[in-house]
Homo-oligomer: A and B are copies of this chain.
Amino acid sequence: MIQGRDVVTLDTFSPEEIRFVIERAREMKAHGHGSSLQGRSLVMVFFDPSLRTRSSFSIAFSSQGGTVVDMVASRDIWALEMREGAVMDGVADEHVRDAAAVLSEYADMIAIRALSRHDDWARERRDQVIVSFQKYASVPIFNMESVLDHPTQAWGDALTLTEEFGDLRGKKIALTWAYHPQTRPLAVPHGVGVMATKLGMDVTVCHPEGYELDHDVRETMELCAGETGGSVRWTDDRRAGLENADVVYAASWGSTLYHGRPDDERDLRRRHYDWRLTQDLMSTTNEARFLHAMPIRRNVEADDEVVDAPYSRVVVQAGNRLHIQRALFAEVLKT
């Protein structure tokens, strides 16, 4: 159903395709490994460091018999030229079209992590690294988190929610901003927002003013909700936003308005130090499950009492990344 596809954003998958992969992941989670990737290889290219994504991608691929190579290609040691026709007498050692073409000779799949360079949002949101690899590679490209999206995280979250609720249509999810001592990427809330609306959920996004999600992502969410019978609501009133929620998903993310201006962003962010998820807030929900993409700043983003509560699913949620990735790899590389 999704053979040969790039997995760069959830936006390119239909609700049926998303649900299909979730079902495959549930089967694989129940029945163990398998060897369908024998003789296949994955090259992971990290322009930014990763611990969790790297280990879960590696294990998901190689536990099915495949070969994994990771290249920690920080932009400092492997500067790629992105401009067509450039005279390459500067710092860039290689054109992305050559890098992508050569890696396509070695690997059956290429996975890329390329986060923000702390530049202006309008430029960053184009996700130039991964989009260029998509353009020039002849094998499927996987997104291991880009500026704009983190599809395997969101897809794994959908698996977790499906395990809890079955059909997600009509379920209420509150995606709520949390304070964090550092500026965090927008990829996770973007992915989760699109996933939830694609699956027909009623989505409430709670955040302080200035922390609006990317304009186009918001449009996509509204559009998806319209198609699937879900809904989207935006609020800066957390208490109202969480009321009767079936799921509370806490995340911290940066302001697109002050992207690339860390001092200004910090000043804004610090005014919202109280955006910490407490048991008191959780008690207004419909006995909601608690999700967070991890790593979590305990007692800053959410209290220990919430993270360790019986309704918290954060550990299962992290584990499900393994299972959804196994299913995605097997399906995309199906012959």
Contacts and interface: CB of A to CB of B under 8 A. Distances in A.
Interface of A: 32-33, 38-39, 41, 43, 49, 51-52, 54-56, 58-59, 62-63, 67, 69, 71, 73, 77-78, 81, 85-90, 93-95, 98-99, 101-103, 105-107, 181, 294-300, 304, 307, 314-316, 318-319, 322
Contacts of A54: 69, 71
A326 to B, nearest CB: 11
Contacts of A298: 81, 86-88, 95, 98
A33 B43 contact: no
B62 A299 contact: no
What is the copy number of this chain in the assembly? 3
A87 B273 CA distance: 12
Given A51-B73, A98-B294, A299 B85 contact: yes
Nearest to A49: B77
A101 B315 CA distance: 7
A141 to B, nearest CB: 16
Contacts of A55: 43, 69, 71, 103, 106-107
Given A41-B59, A56-B106, A67-B58, A87 B315 contact: no
Contact of A107 (B59, B73, B315): B59
A318 B71 contact: no
A102 B69 contact: no
A67 B62 contact: yes
Nearest to A103: B55
Given A55-B71, A71-B54, A87 B299 contact: yes
Contacts of A296: 94-95, 98
A299 B101 contact: no
Contacts of A39: 32-33, 63
Given A39-B33, A105-B319, A51 B67 contact: no
B67 A63 contact: yes
A154 B62 CA distance: 31
A59 B51 contact: no
Contacts of A67: 58-59, 62-63
Nearest to A322: B106
B318 A88 contact: no
B59 A102 contact: no
12 contacts: A41-B63, A43-B59, A52-B102, A55-B103, A55-B106, A58-B67, A63-B67, A88-B300, A93-B295, A94-B296, A98-B314, A102-B315
Given A55-B71, A88-B300, A95-B296, 17 more contacts: A33-B38, A43-B59, A49-B77, A55-B107, A58-B67, A59-B69, A62-B67, A85-B299, A85-B304, A88-B299, A93-B295, A93-B297, A98-B294, A98-B314, A101-B315, A105-B318, A105-B322
